[in-house]
Structure 1
Amino acid sequence: MTNQNPKVDQFMETVEHPQKEAVAYLRAAVLKAEPGLTEQVKWNAPSFCHDGVDRVTFQLKAKDVQLIFHRGAKVKDGDAEFVFPDDTGLMKWRSSDRAVVTFQDLADAQAHEAAFLDLVGRWVRA
């Protein structure tokens, strides 16, 4: 994967998380499915960027696997009107421009992988 960041690799070596295998699996799947994404460590977790803007970031404080879908660090003008259709039912909205996708474990992530990767692709282009 040419978009895999060695700094994120180093960070992941130090991560202690009960679902680390699922985090690594989803990280690789996202980078493979969306070659236009870059990644960095942001908010003490791997974060995927599109055109230099963080769009999907792991939340590593929970026992399960959580990914925050956002439109950058700060709310943008017009976000109150932002609408994103989620036909997967995976997203739980926290605000008009932020949602969380949660997987219990690796098996759960694998079971929903196709829908999740489609969601990521549509989100980063929204």
Structure 2
Amino acid sequence: MKAKNMKPVALADSAGVDMYMQKLDHPLKDVLEALRKIILSVDSEIGEQVKWNAPSFLYIGEMQPFDPKEYKRYIIVSNVYQKDCIRLVFPSGAKINDTSGLLTGDYADGRRLAFFYNMEEVVAKEEALRKAVKTWLLLLDK
């Protein structure tokens, strides 16, 4: 129940991500922009914001109440700290049970990673990325 005069929290901030992208100095900026377009095109209830110093993608639709510290809305957090690749971190990627080879790692906290070193890899992995995001949305507690 919302308190009187309480404004809803804005989940998405594409303008903030646009500003981030304009200022980004990274050799694979075009790769990140292509990944951004793919992820956002999967579903109209996927939004973006700058979180943890990089573009992050989250579910912006209605959800059951949960502890905000669980970060259940977050699908993907991008990582641009390495200059040779764009790393996509799926905080709950283990739930997806990806068999395509897109998601790697076996982290105890359930996260999985996808690496993109060039535009050719974006093209080659696009369908697997779309499928991973769609699967994540199906598993979400809405």
State TM-score, norm by structure 2: 0.72
2: CA distance between counterparts of 1:33 and 1:84?
16
Residue 97 (structure 2) pairs with residue 70 (structure 1): no
In the alignment, which of 86, 90, 98 is matched to residue 111 of structure 2? 98
Query: Which residue pairs with 1:60 in the alignment?
Result: 80
2: CA distance between counterparts of 1:25 and 1:90?
16
Query: Which residue pairs with 1:41 in the alignment?
Result: 50
**Radius of gyration: which is bigger?**
2
Partners of 1:7 and 1:41 within 8 A in 2 = yes
SS at match of 2:48: strand
Residue 134 (structure 2) pairs with residue 121 (structure 1): yes
Partners of 1:4 and 1:31 within 8 A in 2 = no
2: CA distance between counterparts of 1:110 and 1:90?
12
What RMSD in Å do the two structures reach over aligned CA positions? 1.9
1: CA distance between counterparts of 2:36 and 2:129?
12
Residue 120 (structure 2) pairs with residue 111 (structure 1): no
2: CA distance between counterparts of 1:10 and 1:23?
14
Gaps of 5+ in 2: 1-11, 61-71
1: CA distance between counterparts of 2:95 and 2:57?
21
- 1:88 to partner: Cα distance: 0.9
- 1:18 to partner: Cα distance: 1.2
Partners of 1:94 and 1:100 within 8 A in 2 = no
Gaps of 5+ in 1: 72-81
* Greater strand proportion: 1
- 1:111 to partner: Cα distance: 1.3
SS at match of 1:92: coil
* Aligned CA distance change for structure 1 residues 83 and 115 (closer, same or farther; 3 Å): closer
Query: Which residue pairs with 1:78 in the alignment?
Result: none
Give the percent of matched residue pairs that are identical in Structure 1 and Structure 2. 27
SS at match of 2:115: strand
